[in-house]
Amino acid sequence: MANTLPTALPGTCLVQKFPLEVLLRISYYLPTPDLGRLRLTSRSIEQSLYTTFVNEFFTRKQFMITQESLQALIDISKSRLSQHLRFVHIGLDCLSSDRTRLSDEEKEDRFRKRCANNFALWYTGHHRDMMVEAFRNLKNLEDVVIRDFNMRHRSRDGPDAEWHSYGYTTVFNETGVKMTHNGSTMWDAGFPYRYPSQVFAAVIYALGIAQARPRGIKVMSTRPKGLRDFAFSIPDFLQPSVVPLLEGLEKLHLCIDLEWRCLNMGHDELIYWFESAPHLFIRKFLSHTTNLKSLSINETTLCEFVGLPVFLDWVVGDLDSQASTDRTKQGDVVISLPRLEKLSLGTMRIDAPRLLKIVRKFAPSLKSLKLWKVNMIGGQETQPEPESQEIYWDSFLEKLTEIPGLDLKHFKVSMLKQCWCGRYDSIPISFRGYGAVCEYVGSDWKRFIGEIRPLSHLKWLEDKDTTDDEEGSRMPDDEDDSTGDDE
């Protein structure tokens, strides 16, 4: 009787016999390409890894405004993965307009073709049509995020690996050109930093036409190029589709720049322009967001133009002044936000009385308050700056605890500064034992403020450490989780 040797089992069969816990542990340490190969070894392994795979790569995913990237979004929306995609991120990746001719003729030709395709995509409106098709199929869509930076939580592929927009790697491999987030594209045509506003308007219109109902819309920026006022325009022909979208929002996080049409105007003219123009687009836009629970407003220019203060006065609805009363009689829109629970203000110059009025307006419902890189203005421009510096934030924090009905469960201040009215140099504020960031979660927030007030001190610029640079480049109130693979 002939001896028969046992036939070696294929490696795939051995892997299939692994307990699920062991298989998940192995896959956890694999780089993305190797994880893809493992999933393709057999149907059973693909099914075993399906849940963890979609949670990591398809719960949230980042795209950009190119044909290939938006087509991928459409394809996902028509697949079984669509039910898992709850957070769609739109990266502000763009081809720079100031690039010299490439030395490689083939890459130069590909670059020119991509520029031409992107031009056609934008100016035919096809980019919006593609987003409409995709958003219409995403039944579980919760948040849409527009961002000008990539997250570095892609630990699977190394400590410095980023989550790029889908298609970014393909563009780089074909042309050798890295797409940028600088906000200045070949279509600015003397209108700087228009691209973020273009993308925001296109996303809003696409969501409205698709009758999508996400709970949140967020704009996350690390550069001085916030949304201009025209980005919030809702033409009459789009109001039937866009207004219901805004009315259903629970989260709205904005990075704004209200200097548009004001850059070359004098201070007095600027005040007149804003106070005599009650129909600013952002006012009408926010007046429709009646169900907001979370609102974040970040000014991106850190200038002292009066556009932001006057806008915040409108948010407060301060009817003590006759001018405000007159504007209301003229038909100016108002904002209520009776359900607002979370308020975040960042990267702005503001005086203490105005900031206290904002908190006081929303105090009955407010549960969370975050102030990030807020530069508090002290004194008046006609007054000389005192020799000894007082801490303006100390008085603000004391008065904050005296606001009737304010019952916070979460309080956070970070990267605070202060300056004298009319001056641009500012002094960082720090808290001994805490540094530049103080945060409290609980029911006794007033006691916490009482504890940190004596710890506040002026942190002179020459002693400034690197904390501000490291933390200051991120929005304070947005979830910076993984956003999905780039290819």
Q: State both tokens at 430.
A: 């720090």
Residue of 36, 95, 86, 44 whose CA lies nearest to 479:
86
Distance spanning both ends of the chain, measured CA to CA: 57
Q: What is the pLDDT of residues 97-111, one digit of tens each?
A: 667 888 889 999 999
Q: What is the pLDDT of residues 362-393, one digit of tens each?
A: 999 999 999 999 999 887 656 666 656 788 99
pLDDT band of 320, cuts 50, 70, 90: very low
Q: What is the pLDDT of residues 99-158, one digit of tens each?
A: 788 888 999 999 999 999 999 999 999 999 999 999 999 999 999 999 998 887 777 877
Q: What is the pLDDT of residues 242-251, one digit of tens each?
A: 999 999 999 9
Structural domain boundaries in the chain: 11-53, 58-365, 366-474
Mean pLDDT lowest for which of 111-125, 154-168, 181-195, 258-272?
Answer: 258-272
Per-position b or e across 331-369, b if 16+ CB within 10 A of its CB: ebbebebeebbbbbbbbbbbbbebbbbbbbbbbeebebb
C-alpha–C-alpha distance, residues 114 and 81, integer Å = 28
Comparing 234 with 41, the larger pLDDT belongs to 234
Residue of 263, 162, 20 whose CA lies nearest to 487:
162
Q: Taking the alpha carbons of 364, 370, 374, 377 in that order, is the dihedral positive or negative? A: positive
CATH architecture of 58-365: Alpha-Beta Horseshoe (3.80)
Residue of 228, 179, 142 whose CA lies nearest to 66:
179
* Strand pairing category for 342-351 and 294-299: parallel
